Amino acid sequence: MNSQKKNIDIWLIYKCIKCDNTYNMTIFSRTKPKLINKDLFNKFSENNAEIAWEYAFCHETSRKNNVELDFGSVEYDIQYDNISVEDILNFDSEIVTFKIKYAYDFSLKLSSLIRISLRLSANRLNKLIEAKVISIQGKHLQKKHKVKNEEIVQVNREKLRSIYHIWLRQYRQRND
């Protein structure tokens, strides 16, 4: 933060790990402090890490600064309940529903998230997508669909069961 007279500037400061150059990405420029939400202003004043991360991944902020963010090197962890395809098959309901919580938008593909969470090979996930087993907000999953916070993912258990039986037959044939 920097203030001059009655105006304030707020930036995220990036430092290149290769050359040590810095870049200031503008969050607020020449803004009167009373025009900024008091809680948000306090978080900026305290260098709140959570709010910094929120703005670091904000597409609107990068657009306003005419900056293209490179998310290819972002490291992340996926936290999920340890549920397998077999567990889903044993649920009672025909449609099994999951809710995604995704605090920072760094262009993660939902297909990658599902593949990792259900421990599926890329080939098996493709089969599920082709068979329209998985849907998001009522639309069938597309391979390039980007994750959005609070998104609802639905798995059709009966369609999954039919694909799963094919996988079992193929597995048995290879191991006989």
State the alpha helices, DSSP H only, in 32-149.
Answer: 38-45, 49-56, 59-64, 85-89, 110-117, 122-130
pLDDT tens over the chain, length 176 residues: 998 889 999 999 988 888 999 999 999 999 999 999 999 999 999 999 999 998 988 888 989 999 888 777 777 788 888 888 889 999 988 999 989 988 888 888 899 899 988 889 999 999 999 999 999 988 999 999 999 889 999 999 999 999 988 888 887 888 87
Residues 6+ apart with CB under 8 A from 109: 143, 144, 145, 146, 147
In the chain, what are the domains?
2-64 (no CATH), 85-175 (3.10.290.10)
HSE (CB half, 13 Å, CA atoms) of 59?
6
